[in-house]
Amino acid sequence: MFPAFSARYASLPDRMRAEMSPTPVSSPRLLAFNRPLAEALGLNLDALDDHQLAEVLGGNLVPEGARPVATAYAGHQFGNFVPQLGDGRALLLGELTHRDGTLREVQLKGAGRTPFSRGGDGRAPLGPVLREYVVSEAMAALGVPTTRALAAVASGDSVVRQMVEPGAVLTRVATSHIRVGTFQYFAARRDTEALSLLVDFCIERHYPHLAKSAPHLAESAPQPAESTEGGRALALLDAVVERQASLIAQWKGLGFIHGVMNTDNCAISGETIDYGPCAFMDAFHPHRVFSSIDERGRYAWDNQPAIAQWNLARLAETLLPLIDDDQERAVELATASIENFAEQHDAAWTAVLRAKLGLDSQDDQSDDHDLALGEDLLKAMEEGNADFTLGFARLSAALEDGDETLAEGFERRHRLDDWLPRWRQRLQQQGVDAPTLRQRLSAANPLVIPRNHLVEKAIRAAVDDDDLSVFESLLAAVTRPHEAPSEAWLMAPPTRDERVLRTFCGT
């Protein structure tokens, strides 16, 4: 049935988590199950039927070896520090070994009250569970580092938010669930021992190559305690900065807006985590915001790099006591690491835009030119109220069918008409044949994303009519994002009446 779980995180000191069992649900029913991911995690699917899966993944049965825990963390929420948050509705069952040899944590989200629930019911409504399932699997198919969805289980119980809604439990899989907020929780308590344990845990799980570059982790090369601990903490910070810079560039390249980039939603692993009021843009606008709770646009599309850097600065603050005993020296080293974010993000963003335009790097001087070329297309999209996803996807067709194929998606095309000759000239300079170029463009620019109005349509059908057919069709389409679906509505932008301008968290 289920392979034996390990309990690495549950073996950390008691103050880092609360050990407890999920609260049973009244009538678990399997709604969606990710068979390829289950097979990669070693589940014996021939020995499990839907009822058994629902009992375990709904929280009614705890599998062998699992030690369910709610993890402790704090966080800055919209810039305001909350010293204790923690898993208020999630329980980490333990770890399974993926077929690639790495560990994956398995977590039940919506598993009932924990000591961190802060008065909440510890449950999850069906709508947000389906949203996270479809969006996280779309991100995985698009090649973006992300948590994954293993299962969605209807609980048979009601959840009260703004209205009475059916409840559900999401089974989420991640390389780990450690966040910037996890470090903040222990820094606020001046618990340097816990911080040091977290640094070691994160290096082991996410950055094992640092064990070689940070000699304190190698028994053959002991060093004085101050320098060894400082070396590993700073190496971890550098590595997290690099991954976050790449991640945000990938988000931007898909028109993705996370919606709640609080420090408790910033994963040390560099994975996208906690899909609450997230959204993909339809018509491009750099200041686009969808989250109903982001009233001032803190987490708008174009603000995401600056917010990521701000979050990383908060991580750096927690590591100062480990980086160097000399406070000024520690601040100097940490500041240099954080300041590297801008350069790393710009390089990653340039690479993303270059790929989306079908370009390769010619020399160092081409970077600024290609960045400007990509951002000028975005300005043309903004002026023309053009769809972000289809605007890029139609570049491939424009090679064969001419400029009108691309221009038909623009309400105003003055900037686009100025841009197209520059792009074609740049393509000619690199001397790539047309089939290769079309292949590049198709690989970098998806046809299908989980558009807000389609996610909402899927949720409404499931919640109001117990109809999962829209969800299943959407999931099938977004997990093959570079293929035109058989049903055109799965890739079409919304009509004016279909537009969804506000998304909600569900907590």
Catalytic residue among 87, 238, 264, 370: 264
**Cα–Cα distance, 166 to 234 (Å, whole number):** 46
Type of residue at 149: A
- Kind and range of the H or E element at 1? none
**Cα–Cα distance, 247 to 257 (Å, whole number):** 12
- Active-site annotation holds for 264: yes
Q: State the Cα torsion 2-29-473-293 to the nearest 10°.
A: -100
Type of residue at 423: W
Got the DSSP string for 361-409? ---TTHHHHHHHHHHHHHHHHHHHT-BHHHHHHHHHHHHHH-HHHHHTT
Type of residue at 241: V
- Which candidate, 457, 480, 483, places its Cα nearest to that of 470? 457
**By three-state DSSP, how is residue 179 classified?**
strand
CB 327 within 8 A of CB 320: yes
**Cα–Cα distance, 30 to 272 (Å, whole number):** 25
**Cα–Cα distance, 427 to 373 (Å, whole number):** 12
Residues tagged active-site: 264
